Amino acid sequence: MKKALLTLVCGLWLAAPALAAIDTHEFDTQAERDRYRKLTEELRCPKCQNQNIADSDAPISLDLREETYRLMTEEGLSDDQIVEFLVERYGDFVRYKPPVDKRTLVLWYGPFTLLGLGMLMLALIIVRRRKGGDSDAAGQQLSGDEQQRLNELLNQTRESADK
């Protein structure tokens, strides 16, 4: 029991640093600290496929966090300016939210277009069913010609069956 507990404690102790990359940055105000945290959570690590720079332990993420901190505190840039600074160097990949432009039109509006098309088709099918329902009743009645042809066909099969 004691051993199990010890293992558990050691395991937790080892796991703690893995939760998030820890930097020792100093901020004057809590608002600044929150701003830094929000920014680093919204920026994507270029080396990793799906991790923000706040969580990533990749060396490049450490550099980008340092740069974000420097741009914030030393250069006094706004959030948009910092994102712009990084996009100029690393491309739109570093943003989790891609901008709306020619290349991303399909990404932004594709799903709505498909939804619209689906609704349109559904509406067409419903309308057709409704109309079809009416004409079905009319279709039950055979015209004079059709009745005659039916009789002929029935006679033919009867004759061939007799043979």
Partner 1 sequence: MAKGRLLAVLAVLAGVAGFAWMSIYGLHNDPRELPSALLDKPFPEFSQPMLGEPERLLTRKDLLGKPALVNVWATWCPTCRAEHAYFNKLAASGVPIYGINYKDDEAKAKKWLHDLKDPYVLNISDPRGALGMNLGVYGAPETFIIDSEGVIRFKYVGAVDDWVWKEKMAPVYEGLLKP
Q: Which residue has the tokens 């799903």?
A: 111
Residue 72 in tokens? 């914030």
Q: In 93-143, which residue ranges form alpha helices assigned H by DSSP? A: 105-140
The reply on whether position 27 binds partner 1 by CB under 8 A is: no
Angle ∠(40,43,49) on CA atoms, nearest 5: 120
Task: Please report whether residue 67 would count as binding partner 1 according to CB under 8 A.
Answer: yes
If one asks whether residue 25 binds partner 1 (CB under 8 A), the answer comes out as no
Residues 83-102 that bind partner 1 (CB under 8 A): 87-93
- The residue type of 100 is V
21 binds partner 1 (CB under 8 A): no
Greatest alpha-carbon pair distance for the chain in Å reads 107
Residue 77 or 87 with smaller CB distance to partner 1 = 87
| 49 touches partner 1 by CB under 8 A | yes
Per CB under 8 A, which region of 17-25, 34-42, 82-90, 153-161 contacts partner 1? 82-90
